[in-house]
Structure 1
Amino acid sequence: MGSDDGWIGSAQPYLAPRREGERDAWTAEAAAHGHRGTQRLLGVEEVDPPRIVRDFLEAERAVVRRRLIMLDDQPVELADSYYAARVARGTPLAAAGKIRGGAITLLASMGFVPEGNPMEDVGPAIATTSQCEALNLPPGTPVLVLTRLTRSTAGEPIEVSVMTMTRHLRYRQTNEVS
């Protein structure tokens, strides 16, 4: 995606529970820009999460759902979403399969309604060997890593998503006043 294509992203659609029959946020966003957005589930497992995930979720164990995000049949992002194991165990979050309406919709139905303003951290990295393979990148390719920390409206941490992107990011942020 070039920097002049006018596509400005926002986290809010990804934090809104979907209504029955409504497309997932990525498919809808891509379609709104004349593209085809799809995703493929690469795996679901319970893990000892990275420190930032563990600290935010206040959990020693987490369930991670790993996905490959595609734009017009080309891989553009790896997205790993983590949920505290105490919340995810025994739910579709911990099962290998698509979640009807998406994880945010499921979490909302479980009483974990996401807040509207997640904390996000964006930074550059060099793609790892496995990321290069998954994203069809040559070794040494720079990528953008966006980490999104989402709490429920009650203040409970509910999701940490780590997205490794191959594309330019133009993003709309909401300013908080303290």
Structure 2
Amino acid sequence: MIIYLRILSHEAEDFVKEVAIDDTLTFADLHNCIQETLAYDATQMASFFTTDSDWNKEMEITLFDMSDSGSDAIKVMQETLISDFLYEEGQRLLYVYDFFSERAFFMEVIQIANGNLEKPNFYRNEGKAPEQIMIGDITDDIKGSSYHDFEDEFDGSLDSMKFDELDNLDNDINFDELADQY
């Protein structure tokens, strides 16, 4: 059977992808196809989640097995066939591609047809994909911060050591003399 999936992003309104995949392939095949098509780094952590009709997460299908006890609530992409979870129109998935910021694509089965495919095929590619990882927001916050931005968080305990005064310290330390003392 061929499963047809529509992929949408809440970050990019014009982003619409549709992919056809044989149900005998694995979720790893689907993951790799998405990553390649969007020019993402396929080694980054990612997971599929089956969901109910309101997008509430149910079963996780993860790239790497990180569970301690082999939980039944977590499957591994490489070992999980598409047919294990996708078999009727209207089924929904979340594809978390930015694990640390929990950014995801919304996926829905839009059609099922008889036939076979050797590999997944994107047949609709509209819009620009969002960036894979959003680190810039964090680094911009840090770069724009100064000692004074954090001073209130420490209840003034930093008053005794002003970082601005570090430049005034005598940097002419003779390490040879110090070593001789010990």
Question: TM-score normalized by structure 2?
Answer: 0.28
Higher relative contact order structure (alpha carbons within 8 Å, sequence separation ≥ 6): 2
Select the structure that is richer in strand.
1
Question: TM-score normalized by structure 1?
Answer: 0.29
